[in-house]
């Protein structure tokens, strides 16, 4: 089993920016993403497991639109 832990706030910031840009392009709004703990990933054969503790801030209207698209 392979594991990766991303503890660096610099790398977490880069990941937050990339996720924000993808969401902005696909959904039309840019959320504010903040990781609370290290990003933990483990790989076992064909399976990958990712553990995130994250806070996401967005407008109420954006959340409602997102939920309508998903549900």
In the chain the first and final C-alpha atoms are separated, in Å, by 35
Residue 40: give the domain boundaries.
Answer: 2-70
What is the pLDDT, as a whole number, of residue 70?
A: 86
Total structural domains within the chain: 1
The rounded distance, in Å, linking the Cα atoms of 13 and 16 is 5
What is the pLDDT, as a whole number, of residue 30?
A: 94
Each residue's pLDDT, cut to its tens digit, for the chain (71 residues) gives 899 999 999 999 999 999 999 999 999 999 999 999 999 999 999 999 999 999 999 999 999 998 998 89
The rounded distance, in Å, linking the Cα atoms of 29 and 10 is 23
What is the pLDDT, as a whole number, of residue 69?
A: 86
What is the pLDDT, as a whole number, of residue 1?
A: 86
In this prediction the pTM is 0.83
């Amino acid at each position: 089993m392979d594991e990766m832990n991303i503890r660096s706030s610099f790398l977490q910031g880069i990941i937050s920016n990339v996720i924000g840009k993808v969401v902005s392009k696909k959904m039309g709004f840019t959320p504010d993403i903040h990781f609370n703990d290290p990003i933990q990933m483990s790989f076992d054969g064909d399976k990958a497991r990712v553990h995130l503790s994250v806070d996401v801030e967005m407008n109420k209207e954006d959340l409602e639109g997102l939920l309508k698209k998903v549900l």
